Structure 1
Amino acid sequence: MSHKLITRVVRDPSDGFRFLPHLETEPPDLLVSFDVMGGDRIRARMSGTAVRALRGTEHKADLRAAPDEVHGAAARLCARWKERFVHFQPVDDRGRALLERRHPYATAADLSAEPEDELRGIVVDLARSGESLLFDTLLRGDDVRTEMFRTYLRSALSQTGLRVRFDSDLHLPWPMLCCTPEDATAPAPTLDAVFARFLGHRHQIEHTGDAYAWIGPPHSVPQRPFVSLNHDVSVGRATRADDVAKALAQGTECTVRTTYEELVHDFGKPDLDEQFMYFWCHGQFVGNEPEPQVLVIKLTDGTPFDGLTVRELRARHRHSRFRPLVLLNACHAGVSGASTDRAFLGRMLIEHGAQGVLGPQISMPQAFAAEFALEFVTRYLRGEATAGAITHDLAQYFAAQYRNPLGFAYGLHSGMDARLERMSGGEV
């Protein structure tokens, strides 16, 4: 006579392997790597369907530029955006500030009513600096390998609509870099033609640098997405910040945090499980020489929260379900030199579970930051598009409709393929 045997599992023999594989996705159309080697050498590699495969060899070159030199040029580019664009002040024929146009590019997101010739001249200047950083600083050199690499990369980036990954030990403001004009001898280009030179306008872009950054259990789709608003309530009162808060709470389970203690308490939870985290607050760079200064953020109580705090709180929860996309809308108007590590907070968030971190590469005017956040949050919470697609679309949208290039100054650290999963029929 047959009997049903009762089975009881007393040990998981696959422990340590059960979280594999990682979340997989389609490879990018273009993968460009910049590895810092011994002796401060930079080795460049390139692959993907957007660049021609070579018989019996690969796209590779050891570059002449040194990391400190490249970081210094990147800091200069970010500073130029602040000085030439964000802080732009029109003057009259006698050099006196026009009070009726007080810092017009910083106080409004929509620049369509501003003089286009004036705006075009400034954006042309920024585009020239972005092109020079990529091709004249990072990829400079007259040896055959560097020349070939530069030529193939220039050709690949001249396409449009690619998914581009810069896997690099050098953290640069990739969307703010530029392609070469199609015809450098042509008459003065239109503003739209100048916008189209920026990599952030042409392609979806993400920066990566780590390997196997996260392994964790499968992620179930909740009935309503879990999101959070982490903010300084005094920031951006004259902007659309309240509309962003309403968008975050629409059809979600939204946690609001305004203090360091609330943030630390929840980051220390092993079961912290949010699909999207939004930070709207001030930021600044702190640190002591010779170590690079790193970004810290502050909520309403002003207590600094940084990447090391993330590590302290999340290191013991390595295999948790913490997998948010993070929109780090924190202004950092302080240090902009080569000795700053702009990516450290983002790296720590990703190392401890975040799918990606989206944030400004420069000191972002609050008026534009709130408009960008409202558009991004609204679109991302629909679950219809990836973070990379939305960021790229917004860069083009703000350039076309608002005549504003600040969308190019938002960069994705990983997360190009992150998408909010929603249950079918869920409330939006």
Structure 2
Amino acid sequence: MMIQARRRSAALLVALAVGAVPVAAHAAGEQTAPTAAAHDAFKIVSLGDSISLGYEPGVTRAADIYGYADRLYVNALLHGRAELANYGALGLQSAGLTRLLAGAAESRKLTADELQDYSAYDPAAKAQADAVAAGAPALRDSLADADLVTLTIGGNDFAALVRDLVGKTDADATASFEKTFDEKLNNYAEQLQANLRTLHILAPQARIEVADQYSPVSKIVGDAMYAELNATIAKLSAKLDELKNSLAAEGVAVDIVHIGGAFQGKEALYTHFSPVFGVTDIHPTQAGYETFARAFAAPVWPEYTEVAPSDKAANPAPTVYIKGKLLTTKNKPQLKSNTTFLALSDIAAATGAELQWDNKTKTATFKQNGREVKLAIGAKTIVIGGVKQALNVPAYLQTVGKESKTYVPLAAITQGLDYQVVYQAKLHTAFINS
């Protein structure tokens, strides 16, 4: 099962705690965009335990986290504007989730101690949970506008049961499981049902998806114990299917995302758990999080796209997707002073904007949907809707083959035309949507 370790990498936890207050949109660009009219964006809210957070052992920077929620966000960006708010909390249990949702319903800031007992956790883990708990009012707002809510919860509920297995023989372990599992499962299902009812109230427009559990244990524990663990996972999964049907009768629609079966037989590939080498952390690997993302995406999109990271060393400028399509051009994107530049003709072609060129003043004008952006080669300002704004790095001429091409700052132009610009640092890729 998804049992979360209580002692974690302090460096990572500090990084997570600093940036733990959930932020709905991760727009990135070198220029400040003008105030835009409201747009329909696909809004994702991920909440629950450290699986939703995307935790992995050994990661030392929050920027290196790339979990299932981040992958869902990328797939949403391939379909249009999107926003992600992640409220995953390290060590969160079902009872803690109940209190977090109650705080959200009351629009009341909480502390980690008000969620659950964090005394046995690393102080930095508690700090991260504190930040999530304090964001309960923001969670209320995020859920009210959400299109998709994803939830992972329960691994920490079963932690004590799994810890009791340590050092026991197969026969003893099996007896222990059979004696206590049903009671814990019923308690878990009862709390989950109540939490899903609350989520339905707080997120009335959203598709709600909840993952079942997985076992990180491979056949190294012996055939009997391996079979028992997976039979337990199957039993839990069936219980959640029953819960789904029960909630449907109440008018509460929920999707159960089946992870347990996907992990079976691939535990060594999909989790970090490796007792032979002394690794007891059971969190998913990148391959495991990819499996989570595909499972969560399946009810939403007919196809899932795995976007590979761009090689930053070989290509300093990021890979660019515009309106869900990979930008391919013979005019190689350039990076200057941390600003991405594209040939102006490529931007016009990819966005469909009207492009006018004044050769006398060396000025390019982009027009689309009633918006107008002007900039001249070498100018340190850009004119958006008739208003001058400072430009960090001006447009310039560059020789491409035997031609001179005008290169312009990508974010400044697209944001001026009222596009959403999102840069995913982990992928070194920009996603631009109208």
TM-score by length of 1: 0.28
Q: Which has the higher helix share?
A: 2
